[in-house]
Structure 1
Amino acid sequence: MKKWLIPFYILVAAVIFTGCRKELDRININPNEPTVPEPEYLLANGIKSNVDTYWGSDATMETSLLYVQYWAKIQYPDPDRYIPASTNIQNVWNNFYAQGITDFTTLIQLGDSLKQPGYKATGIIMRSWIFQVLTDLYGDIPYTQAGKIETYLTPKYDSQKVVYNGLLAELKEAVAIIDANPTASVAGDSLLLGNMQGWKKFANGLRSRIALRIADRDAITAKKVFDELAAEGNIFFKEGDRDARLNYLTSPSQNPVGKNRETRNDYRISKTVIDYLQAYNDPRLPVYAAKPADGGPYLGVTNGLTADSASRLGFSKTSDVGSVFTVSQAPAPLFTYPEQLFILAEAAQRGLYNGDAAELYKAAIRASFKQYGITGNPVDDYLNQGSVKYDPANYKKLIGEQKWLALFSEGIEAFTEWRRLDYPQLKPAYTGVLSGKIPVRFTYPSSEQALNGVNYKAAVARQGADLLTTKVWFDVY
């Protein structure tokens, strides 16, 4: 009989413990805390946090804005000499993967489970934009297994070709969802204010952007993308539309550039930009740059000066970046109407899109000027210059330089387009440490070597050495 006493008492204890645990679980539930996130709050937070990363110090001010020579360092110049801090590289990767990919993957799932297709479509588009930025910067990245931490704790890296093709398919799916659900809507949308046709145009803009990314490697697929867009009616951003643009507010919802300027000012406008604007008699010069505080003409700073040389130039004797781009409420564009026109102009020149390349090129320049309230004769005079007039035989130089000027302040996109088109022809930083070369990618963060070493090594073996000077797949020339 005794041999049954222990199991009996254990059973009784187990029943009591289970009952107590259930009661504790019930008591510990916070009735004011939702167990399922609200999609509008997830969308709102996802947009703000990821645009902050895109426009923040790590991805722009300390890296891409310097590499593409929009800005230069007047103090602490190591990043301008191509010595990035490891935290810059780590933060971009971590923030986009841990916040962006995770949040928007959840939003896509919520759109399905709650039967709210608008959130699914916007989640796909925003996640695709983040993946596009990541592969533009790093090359091969975790994609097909990313955002699935329950299944893939150490996701494999996909080739850049696989990533771009996957994104094209996902963006096409998002457009189809919007078309199939004409009454779909979203709340919490600070980017396009709940306008689902605006989201469709953003998705199509990204499709056309990616098509040009791959055009030098896979012209057949690039043509197919533009043919599909044409068959769908070429629904792109047009004049008067709201761009895919986050309008920042005052603190604590200010632009990351404005927030940075509240406590420090390590930057000046690059001499390279000043030289180009002056050579073209460009009326955007007083928008892009401020005159030195001590007076005198515009004076940009050479990229990559030593600390001593930069300090001798002085803060008050050199030109800062224009306040349009540095105030707390400066807007942060992700995709604009002028960029769309430049894409279509190049696509037309390449035979990928049915349009007049010269007219689209001129329209793109006009649209860029109009963003800053510049219209009429100054724009006509600019376009009539021999160095600006469209020449099909020299389209890469003309589109490359004018697009670079139009994308001013959009460091990551300009850095990517400069690598693709090879214009403008920039000189390496004065005391750069890359043997006369300019960075053409970000290196992978050290955490990947430690935590995802097998997949990291496979990516490096396929893509090339994990260096700032190793070209990514799309960068052919």
Structure 2
Amino acid sequence: MKNTIKFIFLLICTLVVSCSENYLDVNKSSSSPSSATPDLILPAAQKNSADMLYNADILNGSGDSFNLIGSIFSGVMSDAGDQVWYEPEQQYLIINTTYQRIWNNTYTLTLYPYHLIENYEGDNWDNYRAIAKIMKTFHFAMLVDTYGDIPYAEAFGRGANTQPVYDDDKAVYDAIYEELNKAIDMIDNVPDGSLSVSTDAMFGGNMELWQQFANTLKLRMLLRQVNTGADLSSQYNEIVNNGIGFLNETASINPGYADQTDQQNPFYTVFGFVPGSTTSPARNHDATRGNEYFMEFLKDNDDPRLSRLFLPAEVDGEYRGVPQNNYDNFYRSDNTSALGEGLLIGSTQPLQVMLGSESIFLQAEAAQRGLIPGDAGALYKAGIEASFSELGVPDATTEATDYESSAFNNVINWDLAVAAGKEIEAIITQKWIAGGYISGFEVWMDRVRTNFPSGIPIPQGARNTTFPSNLLYPESELATNSDNVPSQGSNAAFDRHTFWMQ
């Protein structure tokens, strides 16, 4: 498997389009389908999905990603005091070039291959097409969440239309939600003799898990909209009554990661160590630290995940975080805590797309709000246990039970949360701990949606007194499609303009 990633890259370059600055360029006409079959395109598309989450500019190793920006804006990640890697993000300095790679490369490197699969002309590819629909929804939803209105209906016809219109964000959400329904039905009605999904690097061709992933994505999208006042009861009833269920395990991708150059897990590539070494740091390793608020929360509540998420500081063996945007030498790399073994397992570790704990916490929140049936408290406790297991806490079941039952904090102990009326805050706080470094984008969106955890401080020297909710449309769009790019005010990164950010 060690050469799988290199093979995938060469394959997609040679069979889809040439490897140039137009690599998988969305400007390619959708009327000119690829000569590569879906089984060859799928693993490359999935690899690109993983890169987009954790290293959107994988070819240059910048580390810009949905996970990184989300981890910073959700108050989880900080910069070491002697590094100055994440200063603009921590200052809330957001301009039209801020993380623009996640826009550009989501369309070109990620969505377009799935578009090719979905529109491939040939029989017996319905399972592949269903996967493509699900993954397109996954990525389109993230773009809507991050920017608001986006190109959707005309997104893949730029060969004939170099200036695609921007579609209303709510309309895009509704459309991609229906795409999930179509994908689920497509899997249910796959004709006999259809090809097995032998090259699926995510669920190994298990289409039942793909349906559960789609159903869980639907739940995530519905909960995004809890503050809009929309009556979504029929949708909630449907995701419960369709009999599919929700994910009970982590959705992850591993196309054959190896301890070699350009073949490592992208998270490990950015935050871990160079190939062949456990001591030579990767580019962001020494800079990346926990926010002091996050780490103190773990310490104050004797959270066993602390030693899985972080290492003791080299100087004195203390667990020490960094206040965001504080470049005092006291918070230098060797006097603060690096990422721990629960995050940096090794070059070949799978790349998480959705944590099993997130799925459980989504169900807990929906049950607590009365949107789906279920025991919110039992789901909450199960989510904590899943998080302990995901981070490799020894004797996870016992430790999770002891943590939840003995904690004095009313956003940890469920009975205390119920007594204080803080059930939703408790659920979101535990999602924040479980996914802060792994699903940073999701915990950022939860903070935007719920304002929990409410005590996260605004960084010193920040350019705004509230935390960011959106990114700005990229400079590349302003240069090439200015007639269609929606106007944005000077406070657009903070004005919660996406339709569900009420």
Q: 2:99 aligns with which of 71, 80, 89?
A: 89
Question: 2: distance between equivalents of 1:50 and 1:59?
Answer: 11
User: In the alignment, what sits opposite 1:20?
Assistant: none
CA distance in 1, matches of 2:15, 2:90: 46
Contact 1:192–1:198 (Cα < 8 Å) also in 2: yes
User: Counterparts in 2 of 1:37-186, with a 5 A limit?
Assistant: 37-56=36-55, 57-60=63-66, 63-74=69-80, 75-76=83-84, 77-83=87-93, 87-110=97-120, 112-181=121-190, 184=194, 185-186=196-197
Provide the C-alpha distance between the structure 1 equivalents of 2:136 and 2:198, rounded to a whole number of angstroms.
17
Say if 2:440 is the partner of 1:440: no
Partner of 2:447: 418
Q: Is the 8 Å Cα contact of residues 202 and 251 (structure 2) preserved in structure 1?
A: yes
Deviation at 1:466, TM superposition (A): 6.4
The correspondence of residues 52-451 of structure 1 with structure 2, limited to 5 A, is: 52-56=51-55, 57-60=63-66, 63-74=69-80, 75-76=83-84, 77-83=87-93, 87-110=97-120, 112-181=121-190, 184=194, 185-221=196-232, 223-238=233-248, 241=249, 243-247=250-254, 248-251=257-260, 252-261=262-271, 262=274, 263-264=282-283, 265-306=286-327, 309=328, 311-326=329-344, 327-374=346-393, 375-384=396-405, 385-387=407-409, 388-390=412-414, 391-392=417-418, 393-409=421-437, 410-425=439-454, 426-434=456-464, 436-451=465-480
Residue identity in the other structure for 1:42: I
CA distance in 2, matches of 1:128, 1:51: 15
Identity %, equivalent residues: 28
> After superposition, what is the alpha-carbon deviation per residue over 1:318-366, rounded to whole angstroms, capped at 9, x for unaligned?
1011133234234321122211111111111222101111111111111
Alpha-carbon deviations, 1:387-435, whole Å to 9, x = none?
Answer: 222335222211111111111211111111111121012111122122x
AA aligned to 1:339 is: E
Hey, what's the Cα distance between the residues in 1 that align with 2:142 and 2:362? 17
Unaligned runs of 5+ in 2: 1-13, 17-33, 56-62, 275-281
Q: How many Å separate the matches in 1 of 2:161 and 2:253?
A: 33
Q: What root-mean-square deviation, in Å, do the aligned CA atoms of Structure 1 and Structure 2 show?
A: 2.2
Q: Is the CA contact 2:94–2:471 (under 8 Å) kept in the aligned structure 1? A: no
Displacement, 1:135? 1.1
Specify whether residues 179 and 33 from structure 1 end up closer, same or farther in structure 2 by C-alpha distance, changes over 3 A only. closer
- The range that moved more, 292-301 or 377-386, is 377-386
Q: CA deviation at 1:190?
A: 1.0
Quick one: distance in 2 between partners of 1:182 and 1:333?
Answer: 31
Question: What's the secondary structure of 1:268's corresponding residue?
Answer: strand
Q: So what's the TM-score if we normalise by structure 1? A: 0.85
SS in 1 for 2:36: coil
Structure of larger gyration radius:
1
State the TM-score, normalizing by the size of structure 2: 0.81
Q: Distance in 2 between matches of 1:289 and 1:70?
A: 12
CA distance in 1, matches of 2:398, 2:43: 41
Q: Cα deviations across residues 107-156 of structure 1 (Å, max 9, x unaligned)?
A: 1011x534310111011011111101111111221122212224542222
Question: Relative to 1, partners in 2 of residues 1:427 and 1:366: Cα closer, same or farther, differing over 3 Å?
Answer: same
- Structure 1 unmatched runs, 5+: 1-31
Is the 1:146–1:152 Cα contact (8 Å) retained in structure 2? no
Instruction: Quote the Cα distance in structure 2 between the aligned partners of 1:85 and 1:59.
Output: 16
Q: What are the Cα deviations for residues 418-471 of structure 1, in whole angstroms up to 9, with x where unaligned?
A: 11121012111122122x221111111012112111211xx336xx65632121
Instruction: Tell me if structure 2 keeps the 8 A contact 1:62–1:88.
Output: no
- The Cα of 1:33 is off from its aligned counterpart by 6.5
Q: Aligned partners of 2:388, 2:136: CA distance in 1, in Å? A: 30
Query: Offset at 1:82?
Result: 2.0
Question: CA 1:84 to 1:58, structure 2 compared with 1: closer, same or farther past 3 Å?
Answer: farther
CA offset digits 1:77-114 (Å, max 9, x no partner):
2332223576552211110011222111111011x534
Shift of 1:192: 1.1
Tell me which protein shows more helix as a share of its residues: 1
